Structure 1
Amino acid sequence: MIDPALAQSKRRFASLTPAQQFYGAPVGILQLERFPGPFLRPYIPGSVGNASTWSVPVRYRTVPGLQFDQILGQRAGEMAPAVVQAATDLVREGAQLITSNCGFMICYQEVVRTALEVPVLLSSLLLAPFLERMLPPGKALGIITANSRSLTPDLLEAAGLPANSRRVVVAGLEGACSFAAAFLNASADLDVSAVETEMVNVATALVGDQPDIGMLLLECSELPPYAAAIHRATGLPVFDFTSMVEFFIHGLIRRPFKGIL
């Protein structure tokens, strides 16, 4: 016999959200424009641009007219309205957090988070103050970036790091031939194995030069596929875009604990 009171307590309702077009895809990802242009590379598993990287469904939105060179140029601010609009569109479609596929999008972090009512995580550099604060006083945070010349003190400050911090050491990949050919100057196809070797070499050289490094942070959204190899080679904790976004996903989707009482 069915207990009516028990049946009533287990009833579930789903409320309609006005103007929401999609459900079940909580992560909205802003992308740089790649068409037309020479930077047409595949997003391999682990890349922010590969949907299979994530533990939940995601939605992508390209920011019209926003290319990599513009982010770092003097007119970067002119693209802010387009970035905000693309993020707003993703939220209207049902995104519960907004991220991007370029670590240098940190320059739009403040303007986008001010415009929205959901968490905004445009760059893995946002992890840097958290990780630096976790380290013992005698340890430093190593950041591996696509281009060290582009990772200016202003961008680090935008992420919340103090200017000229001695506890932060940066290494760039502009001198890594295979990585640069695929992602910086578009002169060759992506050689995944060669880039992994270069990543490991840069990481081990950084740690060799700075033995006080206690953690590594990967700035570029194309670097997470190589995080496991870097971890194996250095023995250090390695964090990246996936660490940041999945942390918030776990906050959005809490599952009950099952164990022994």
Structure 2
Amino acid sequence: MAAEQPALTVLQLDTRFPRVPGDVACARTYRAPVEIIRIPRATVARVVTDRPDTIDLAPFDAAIARARGDVIVTSCGFLAPHQARLAARTGRPFIASALGALVELSETHGPRGILIATYDWGSLTAAHLAGYDCDIVGLPEDSHLRRVIAGDMATLDTARAGEEVAAAIRAHLRSHHRHILLECTNLPPYKAAIRAIADLPITDILTCIEAVRPGTVRPAFL
């Protein structure tokens, strides 16, 4: 019997930390079948970099060639500079990063109206942001979620992570902000905590997926 056609293929970095519901690489995030392909040697340290030109894209090319999903996405927003390069490898919709939404959001709100929440503020460059000058908040280096991701740890306290993510965003919110964009694909599980402190619309990798293929993401995570 043939395997069910997946709605989505996720190109996951070479990590083993917990992927909880709401994470792009957790099957329980979706209403439809998902295919997850781990990209060898694509560690967080190698992909989350202020030099995106140094990322080895060959393993991503190989994964795209065998991906079966209707839509293909990556599990790291820092691949944004390679959207066109990787999308050219397939005829299907390809989403490298939620940062791809910056063009449309900037037209609506202006770049300064957008607050970007990222894993690593220090590594996010103009190349990732397509030149837009937006306000940015990164996960503090001593925060639980960042340490779990950086250390590829086996356990994750989601309640603690949610509290810390919300606190970091709250500290950077200003009256001119009109929209929050989550670069990091590990942040959507904490949207409820973010919404508790910010009455603003949120764009992330899941809303981008849903825009391309409606009915893919469970409503609780949108």
Aligned to 2:28: 52
Conserved? CA contact 2:50–2:123, under 8 Å: no
CA–CA separation in structure 1 for the residues paired with 2:201 and 2:50: 33
Summarize the Cα distance change of 1:235–1:70 in structure 2 as closer, same or farther, 3 Å threshold: same
- Structure label with greater radius of gyration: 1
2:107 matched to 1:133? yes
| AA in 1 matched with 2:39 | V
Q: Is the 8 A contact 1:230 1:238 kept in 2?
A: no
Among 153, 162, 172, which residue is 2:126 paired with?
A: 153
TM alignment of 1:81-96, pairs within 5 A: 81-90=58-67, 93=68, 95-96=69-70
Counterparts of 1:86-235 in structure 2, within 5 Å, are 86-90=63-67, 93=68, 95-135=69-109, 140-157=113-130, 163=131, 165=133, 168-186=134-152, 189-207=155-173, 210-235=174-199
Ranges in structure 1 where 5+ consecutive residues have no aligned partner:
1-20, 35-39, 158-162, 253-261
| Residue of structure 2 aligned with 1:239, choices 188, 203, 211 | 203
3-state DSSP class of the match of 1:222?
A: coil
Mapped contact 2:182–2:203 kept (Cα < 8 A): yes
Q: Distance in 1 between matches of 2:76 and 2:41?
A: 15
Shift of 1:239: 1.7
Higher relative contact order structure (alpha carbons within 8 Å, sequence separation ≥ 6): 2
Shift of 1:138: 9.3
TM superposition shift of 1:73: 7.0
Deviation of residue 134 (structure 1)? 1.9
Using the TM superposition, give the Cα deviation of residue 184 of structure 1 relative to its aligned residue in structure 2, in angstroms.
2.3
- Once the two structures are TM-superposed, the CA of residue 183 in structure 1 deviates from its matched residue by 1.4
The one-letter amino acid paired with 2:204 is: D
Alpha carbons 1:80, 1:111 under 8 Å: kept: no
1:6 aligned partner: none
Unmatched segments (≥5 aa) in structure 2? 217-222
Q: TM-score, normalised by structure 1?
A: 0.75
Q: Call closer, same or farther: CA 1:212–1:49 in 2, change over 3 Å.
A: same
Give the fraction of aligned pairs with identical amino acids, expressed as a percent. 24
Q: Which amino acid aligns with 1:33?
A: D
Q: How many residues align?
A: 214
Contact 1:173/1:180 (8 A) holds in 2: yes
SS of the residue corresponding to residue 149 of structure 1 reads helix
Q: Relative to 1, partners in 2 of residues 1:176 and 1:195: Cα closer, same or farther, differing over 3 Å?
A: farther
Q: Secondary structure at the match of 2:37?
A: strand
**Residue in structure 1 matching 2:44, options 68, 88, 107:** 68
Give the alignment's TM-score, normalised by structure 2. 0.87
C-alpha offsets along residues 99-128 of structure 1, whole Å, 9 cap, x if unaligned?
011111223322111121111101111122
Name the counterpart of 1:24: 5
The alpha-carbon deviation at position 89 of structure 1 amounts to: 0.5
The answer to whether the 8 Å contact 2:115/2:136 transfers is: yes
- Superimposed CA distance per residue, residues 73-109 of structure 1 (whole angstroms, 9 cap, x where no aligned partner): 758556212211101110xx3x221101111122332
Deviations 1:161-193 (A, max 9, x none): xx252xx11010034521222112457832211
